[in-house]
Amino acid sequence: MHVGFTEETDEFLSPLDIKSTINTLSEADLLRLNSIAQQYSSYCSMDSDEILNEAILKALIGSRKCPINVSFIAFIYQTMRSIAFNEKRKNEKFEPIDNTTSPLQGKSALPEDKTSAHQELESILNLFENDDDITLYLMGIYDGCTPNEICELGDWNKTKYSSIQRKLRRSLNKHYPNGREK
Amino acid sequence: MTKKTTSIEQLEKLTDALVEDILKLSDKEVLLEAKEQFSDPSEKCNHIRDAMHKTILHASKNKFSEAKSQLHSYKKEDKRNNVISFSHKKSVIENFTSKNFNLKQKLTLAARKGEGIQTENDIDGMFEDLLELGMIDEEGNPK
């Protein structure tokens, strides 16, 4: 297939570079991108194919430029992240900043409780109420802790942290096969 | 340790953490997970690649129509820049009429009646007529 792109720059991948990079992606690369797209799709109302191809389109038309020193996978996942997060924020009408409550502090009558994001956080927590490790991990994430801080909280090493993180992801995928937004 | 965050930001952090886990997977682990999810991961890959190619095609079509519209605007702009001044058009027409006695007489008569070449539009119209008849070129030079 001939594509009439001719633009080239020294700092960013040209559309032609992007096209040839796509052709060289391995099965593992494609499936990894698909898996990441599914994760973002779970988070917002877009389909995984839609998110992935929107990211590719942005790269091709130049609204997001891929620096030549950045891996294409990393660039595409960052672009998908931005697409999904923007989509979610666009759909979440009212979300005041409030540090007096958190989903971990019980129910409150603040307007924040009415947002779907807050309900989503609570549903996820409730799902793992019998799993102390995952609950602690989620508490750490919700509180904005770094991985090191979460490890300190749970007295975990990096391997334990990674296995809890993986268990959480796989459980969520199984529990919400069509995404948490759908 | 608690930071000022909204529910959306908390969900974003969770999503980042879940994606971070996918990035940490080895290629082998990615393929193993895909086998659990899809009956034929290779078919899924073909589907992803096909969709990407469709996106490339879509982008190239957009690029083509964008280039086409840019060319159109350029031509329009170029034409506008090459517009012949009203006074030049007038002098081209006067040059013609002065050489043709009959035409000059007819125009003088028409002018007395308040007709003929009176306005800028009349000049433009007559210039276009001369051009269409092949009597002058686009710059108003006699052929």
Q: Directed axis angle between helix A72-91 and helix B7-24, to 10°? A: 160
Between these two residues, A116 and A7, which has the higher pLDDT value?
A116
Q: What is the mean pLDDT of chain A?
A: 85
A106 or B15, greater pLDDT: B15
Q: How many whole angstroms separate alpha carbon B117 and alpha carbon B17? A: 79
List B residues 114-133 in contact with A (Cβ-Cβ < 8 A). none
**A31 contacts B22? CB cut-off 8 A:** no
| Global confidence as pTM | 0.70
Tell me whether residues B20 and A165 touch, CB distance under 8 A: yes
Q: Is B68 on the interface with A (CB under 8 A)?
A: no
Q: Say which of A5, A26, A118 has its CB closest to residue B63.
A: A5
The tens digit of pLDDT for each residue in B10-28 reads 999 999 999 999 999 999 9
- pLDDT reading at A108 higher than 50: no
pLDDT at A170: 95
**What is the value of ipTM here, to two decimals?**
0.83
Q: In whole angstroms, give the CA distance from residue A94 to residue B30.
A: 37
A158, containing H or E segment: helix A158-175
Q: A149 CB near a chain B CB, below 8 Å?
A: yes
Separation between Cα atoms, residue B143 and residue B136, nearest integer Å = 5
